[in-house]
């Protein structure tokens, strides 16, 4: 049997562990674009020791900041959005991605807390360690979701009782409420978790799958986004049961259609994934409208420094560098370059700034977002060296390696290039 575990209101629950005053009242965790990355003053940051679909690899803490210090800007305006809300807050209509000001208008007694990402990542890592002691196979799906495979470890007839004990163990040892879905396949188990919330357990046996999915809206199934929903509705497919009736249609859509059909019907037999083969690595920030191009280049260099550090920390050597720029009023530009050279921070910064100067054709427009991405990772030994730049690349690689060691020991901000100041 596969178990899917999903922490309930994770960020909010994390803050309740050591603050009993937050129990049983409407609370929410809010977030703002983390712009302290661009500050000249030294910041407290840590590197996450877990992998998956997380908020960031380099984490800043906003611990001990008051509501006004974190959420109010220099003009006194409340900024930010809700990232997680407790069930007490949800009863008032407070939802994820809602603005903090709107959430407070819906729930005047709402307690909104600045995020503490190091805390969340630490708890997530502790939960993974706990699960690995209890079960032989664990896949971390996101910061607050895990799949585990109990096949051959726990008898099917004992799995529900095992899940109860596991849920209680997590609550007692970590202070975190969790919901668990159980089934023979991953995606039915994940679907079952939605029916187990809050803090419950839902078991869907193999012979119950057809009846279980019969009237489930397609929107509830993982992997069926809004665009896909619109496509299916054109075929009058509105429930998971409707999908099961259209096998020939989905199989005609080749691999994506076949995969979805098999997952919905609980016949995919997909095993847990234990690797994190990243196809790309990105970092970006959204900020108030900015026209100063020198400041934009400075911010690009800072993002490149952080992204380079993360990549090299994970032994990822990129050959493709990309940048996307978003202006006010919806305009966007993007471009990439293939650099078949030894990856290093200096080269990376240089190429991204050059790309920016090339694509920045709306020079009178304010910029509100920068996104930089590394992709096409390869083993460093597989790079066909550019003989014309071999000596320079080697020097830059050695310098990057020295800076990497210092930053790993003393922090990401210990060494900055002049154009970042």
pLDDT band at 243 (very low <50, low <70, confident <90, very high): very high
The CATH number given to 7-116 is 3.40.1170.60
pTM score, whole prediction: 0.78
Q: By three-state DSSP, how is residue 172 classified?
A: helix
3-state SS record for 115-136 = CEHHHHHHHHHHHHHHHHHHCC
How many C-alpha atoms does 403 have within 13 Å on its Cβ side?
Answer: 21
Cis geometry, peptide bond prior to residue 198 (ω within 30 degrees of 0):
yes
Same fold flag, 7-116 and 280-420: no
Q: Is the dihedral of CA 193, 197, 200, 202 positive or negative?
A: negative
Question: What does the pLDDT look like over 156-179, one tens digit per residue?
Answer: 999 999 999 999 999 999 999 999
E strand segments, 314-413: 317-327, 332-338, 367-378
Question: What does the pLDDT look like over 343-371, one tens digit per residue?
Answer: 888 889 999 999 999 999 999 999 999 99
CA dihedral 150, 152, 158, 163 (to 10 degrees): -10
Rounded CA separation 124/198 (Å): 18
Output the pLDDT for position 403.
78
Identify which of 84, 98, 99 has the alpha carbon closest to the alpha carbon of residue 11.
Answer: 84
pLDDT of residue 24 exceeding 70, the answer is yes
Which fold is adopted by the domain 280-420? Dna Ligase; domain 1 (3.30.1490)
Question: Position of tokens 């990822």?
Answer: 316
Question: Position of tokens 């030994």?
Answer: 381
Question: What does the pLDDT look like over 85-94, one tens digit per residue?
Answer: 999 999 999 9
Output the pLDDT for position 127.
97
Identify which of 198, 293, 225 has the alpha carbon closest to the alpha carbon of residue 7.
Answer: 198
E strand segments, 144-213: 145-149, 178-183, 201-203
Rounded CA separation 105/10 (Å): 23
Rounded CA separation 39/353 (Å): 19
Average pLDDT (271-277) is 73
How many H helices and E strands in the chain?
15, 14
Query: Would you kindly state where each structural domain of the chain is located, as residue ranges?
Result: 7-116, 217-275, 280-420
Output the pLDDT for position 388.
56
- Using only the alpha carbons of the chain, give its radius of gyration: 24
Question: What does the pLDDT look like over 297-322, one tens digit per residue?
Answer: 999 999 999 998 888 888 888 889 99
pLDDT band at 47 (very low <50, low <70, confident <90, very high): low
Pair 238, 228: CB distance under 8 Å: no
Backbone angles phi, psi at 183, to 5 degrees: -165, 180
């Amino acid at each position: 049997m596969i178990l899917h575990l999903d922490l309930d209101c994770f960020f909010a629950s994390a803050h309740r562990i050591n603050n009993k005053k937050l129990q049983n009242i409407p609370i929410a965790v809010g977030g703002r674009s983390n712009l302290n990355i661009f500050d000249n003053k030294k910041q407290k940051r840590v590197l996450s020791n877990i992998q998956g679909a997380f908020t960031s690899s380099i984490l800043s803490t906003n611990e001990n900041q008051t509501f006004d210090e974190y959420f109010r800007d220099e003009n006194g305006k409340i900024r930010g959005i809700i990232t997680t809300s407790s069930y007490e807050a949800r009863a008032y209509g407070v939802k994820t991605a809602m603005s903090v000001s709107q959430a407070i208008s819906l729930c005047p007694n709402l307690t909104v807390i600045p995020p503490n990402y190091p805390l969340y990542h630490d708890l997530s890592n502790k939960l993974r360690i706990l699960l690995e002691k209890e079960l032989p196979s664990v896949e971390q799906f996101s910061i607050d979701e895990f799949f585990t495979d109990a096949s051959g470890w726990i008898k099917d007839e004992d799995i529900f009782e095992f899940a109860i004990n596991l849920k209680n163990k997590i609550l007692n040892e970590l202070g975190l409420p969790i919901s668990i879905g159980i089934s023979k396949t991953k995606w039915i188990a994940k679907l079952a978790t939605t029916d187990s919330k809050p803090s419950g357990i839902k078991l869907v046996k193999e012979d119950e799958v057809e009846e279980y999915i019969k009237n489930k809206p397609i929107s509830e199934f993982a992997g069926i986004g809004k665009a896909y929903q619109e496509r299916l509705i054109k075929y009058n497919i509105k429930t998971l049961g409707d999908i099961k009736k259209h096998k020939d249609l989905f199989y005609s859509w080749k691999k994506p259609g076949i995969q979805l059909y098999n997952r919905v019907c609980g016949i995919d037999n997909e095993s847990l994934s234990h690797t994190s083969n990243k196809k790309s690595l990105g970092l970006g920030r959204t900020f108030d409208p900015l026209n100063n191009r020198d400041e934009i280049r400075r911010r690009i260099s800072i993002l490149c420094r952080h992204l380079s550090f993360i990549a090299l920390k994970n032994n990822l050597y990129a050959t493709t560098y990309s940048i996307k720029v978003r202006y006010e009023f919806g305009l966007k530009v993007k471009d990439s370059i293939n650099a078949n050279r030894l990856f290093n921070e200096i080269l990376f910064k240089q190429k991204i700034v050059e790309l920016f100067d090339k694509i920045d054709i709306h020079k009178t427009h304010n910029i509100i977002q920068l996104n930089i991405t590394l992709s096409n990772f390869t083993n460093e030994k597989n790079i066909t060296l550019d003989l014309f730049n071999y000596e320079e690349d080697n020097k830059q690689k050695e310098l990057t390696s020295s800076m990497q060691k210092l930053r790993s020991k003393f922090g990401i901000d210990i060494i900055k290039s002049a154009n970042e100041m």
